[in-house]
A and B are shown apart, each in its own frame.
Chain A
Amino acid sequence: MNKVLSKKVLAPNVKEMDVYVPRIARVAKPGQFVIVMPDEKGERIPLTLVDWNSFEGWIRLVFLEIGVTTYKLGLKEVGESLYYIVGPLGNPTYVGKFGTVIIVGGGVGIPAAYPIARAFKEVGNYVISIIGARTSKLLIYEDRIREVSNEVHVTTDDGSKGFKGFTSDMLANLLESGLKPDLIWMVGPAPMMKSCSAIAKKYGVKAVASLNPIMVCGMGMCGACRVTVAGRTRFACFEGPEFDADKVDWDELIKRLNMYRKEEQEALNRFRDALASIAMQR
């Protein structure tokens, strides 16, 4: 149980991991996530269910190594087990037949957008995906997204691949050129979602955002994941993670994401020192 079945490096510091958790694979739906603890002393962190197979019992996670917990996760080898996984958490995406759906995925949000694009396409929507990263080396899951989209637009901040600019710039271009989607669905860094939300609003298109606040329990018990939506406090883990994008208080979310900057940096430095000293001893 919780055994790592395979591990791949998709880009610098971005890993894809298949983990054997049949009870989660059995019931997972697009838009849901899990909470993972790499080891006994680790943090509980949320990660999106990128893919799963209910017959073979595995779930697929893709994560960016950004702090201690994700680095620890990245150090797990095939055959090792994760200390704890719970899920599937959060409400599944509402996958209706809308017509034309634009899916926006930024950075490590691209894999998270994959099962959503797939589900929207399966029920007969015309799926236009906009995926973007800082630079081409960090652009992941492009092939997968192509398999499940009718159209794909690629952006990079530095122009090393596709359109030079942000995913939100591409979204603005498409809407400006007269495209009238029935729904925009987005996942990625909060500032990206904030911009995309403003653009969707300007063109009067309904937009849904999958939020990524800091979480601890993932099941409505702690309130770490509080977000303000339409002026009301909501618990993203069990009332979300998706909300109407134009009603989200993005500035509050962005500030809350930075709450532990100092502690996270301190922990990461210590972790790196510890790793370095282990490497020295070898």
Chain B
Amino acid sequence: MPKRSPEERIRDFNEVALGYDEQMAVKEASRCIQCPEAPCIKGCPVGINIPKFIKFIRERKFEEAYRVVKEGSPIPAITGRVCPQEKQCEKYCTLAKLGQPIAIGALERFVADWAKERGVHVDLQQIDKRSERVAVIGSGPAGIVFATDLAKLGYDVTVFEALHEAGGVLVYGIPEFRLPKKIVREELAYMKDLGIDIELGIVVGKTVSIHELLEEYHAIFIATGAGHPRMLGVPGENLNYIYTANEFLTRVNLMKAYLFPEYDTPIHRGRRVAVIGGGNTAMDAARAALRLGAEEVYVLYRRTREEMPARREEIDNAEEEGVKFIFLVQPIGFKGDSQGNVSDVLLMKMALGEPDESGRPRPIPTGETTDIQVDVVINAIGFHPNPVIPMTTPEIRTDNRGRIVVDSDGRTSMRRVYAGGDIVVGEGTVIEAMGWGRKAALAVHKDLAIEKKLSIAVHKR
């Protein structure tokens, strides 16, 4: 896929990948051999009919292609951009074994952008409204899919979101240069078209409790994500300018600190920045730091390149842009100056050992240490499930890692309460979260039909 040159793109926050034009899309689509078994579909958590939409592209029936895509993903402009395709649909593509898989994500993005440019909307069928009311907590990908699926079935859906903008990680985490916020807003507008009510500034568990919601809604879906940062637990980690990735990215993306002082939220623009971790979050933080003007950005990862969990494409992008990777190191402490500003990261050198539970080789300390001088550190080692609802609603069972325990359809231990996405899996992907939203929506639809017969009492406001 065409991209802007690294020299140009690191000077701004505009999108890096430019996307296919019609000709390129048709050409790529023509490579698809329309496998009868369609193994690619198996790799897509929302089951998009991939051969079908690709065939339409080949026939230049872009609108039809868009319709097919939209049946699977309500937000194709987003999934086409951020799915780790090399681990999902494209991994299973027959052509992957023969060399180059079909660029399914890029094609998906193409039809979504094409439809948007032309103002094509999938017709909203006139649906019979149902009387049942459903509440969704959290407006990230899991909540979005759950809400749209049930709204399409005629349910009266309300989404509660704590922040001042809907979208979850899509707005506060993933930066503009990878996923323009305009696109997220447009995709969310579709929810409004479906009549979904989005209420911002409500922390469920604080502003209103799950019990109160159960009095007003027939079912509740918890999709509060895994937004609670994990700390390193090493000396000096609260020195100034040691950020969690969430704080750094929230300041940059949601609060638009890169436009300070036009926007009021400040961020410390470092010259030498160290990012700890090897996932998408680490790549996003490193590339954002570069765009804020850093001269040197180091990604410090405790394993090697092969084990990095980030999307391949973003690792390559980061490298092209000049981010430097230091592998097999683990922070063991930080030093600061007299004002409490961070000055050094102390590192333990690691070696790879036997595979751990995740199947990846376990990093083991070698005993050898080193340090690097920095003025900003971004901790991107990961997240815990958001603790607010589990803390305030003990009836909802969680496991020892704070994840809400659900059955295979998303039912929690509390009746009429469902959950899905990162709050259930820990750290997943956008499309996995969406898959959960879809499953839980089906479960709610099924369960409510049964409940209706039992006729539970729910008061209208």
Contacts and interface: CB of A to CB of B under 8 A. Distances in A.
A144 B203 CA distance: 31
A263 B255 CA distance: 15
Interface string A76-106: 0000000111111100000000000000000
B308 interface: no
A222 interface: yes
Contacts of B386: 220-221
A219 interface: yes
A220 B386 CA distance: 8
B255 A216 contact: yes
9 contacts: A44-B265, A85-B201, A86-B202, A87-B206, A221-B386, A233-B238, A255-B240, A263-B268, A267-B260
B311 to A, nearest CB: 23
Interface string B197-241: 000111100111000000000000000000111010100011011
A146 interface: no
Nearest to B256: A41
Contact of A87 (B207, B237, B340): B207
Contacts of A219: 162, 203, 206, 388
Contact of B206 (A88, A226, A255, A267): A88
A252 B262 CA distance: 30
Given A86-B201, A221-B246, A258 B339 contact: yes
Interface range for A: 35 or more
Nearest to A228: B238
Contacts of B246: 221-223
B343 to A, nearest CB: 13
Given A83-B164, A222-B250, A259 B241 contact: yes
B202 A23 contact: yes
Given A221-B227, A255-B240, A255-B340, A238 B388 contact: yes
A233 B203 CA distance: 23
Interface in B322-343: 339-340
Given A222-B229, A263-B266, A233 B200 contact: no
B238 A227 contact: yes
B268 A222 contact: no
Nearest to A255: B340
A79 B95 CA distance: 63
B28 interface: no
A63 B250 CA distance: 25
A251 B207 CA distance: 33
Contacts of A227: 238
Given A255-B339, A258-B339, A223 B263 contact: no
B148 interface: no
B426 to A, nearest CB: 16
Contacts of B202: 23, 86
A222 B247 contact: yes
A138 to B, nearest CB: 25
Contact of B268 (A23, A89, A228, A259): A259
Contacts, number: 112
A37 interface: yes
Contacts of B266: 260, 263-264, 267
A1 B106 CA distance: 43
A159 interface: no
B251 interface: yes
B244 interface: yes
Contacts of A24: 207
Given A217-B250, A259-B240, A263-B260, 20 more contacts: A41-B264, A42-B264, A44-B255, A83-B164, A84-B200, A86-B202, A87-B207, A89-B203, A216-B265, A219-B162, A219-B203, A221-B246, A221-B386, A222-B244, A226-B238, A255-B340, A256-B240, A260-B266, A263-B266, A266-B261
B163 interface: yes
B255 to A, nearest CB: 7
B244 A43 contact: no
7 nearest A-B pairs in the assembled complex, by CB-CB distance: A255-B340, A263-B266, A223-B244, A222-B247, A84-B164, A86-B201, A221-B227
B261 A267 contact: yes
Contact of A216 (B231, B240, B247): B247
Contacts of A263: 260-261, 266-268
A238 B205 CA distance: 12
Nearest to A232: B233
Interface string A198-227: 000000000000000000110111111011
A220 B207 contact: no
A104 to B, nearest CB: 25
Nearest to B201: A86
Nearest to B262: A41
B83 to A, nearest CB: 24
B387 interface: yes
B266, B268, B340 interface centre (most CB from chain A within 10 Å): B266
Given A44-B255, A220-B228, A69 B244 contact: no
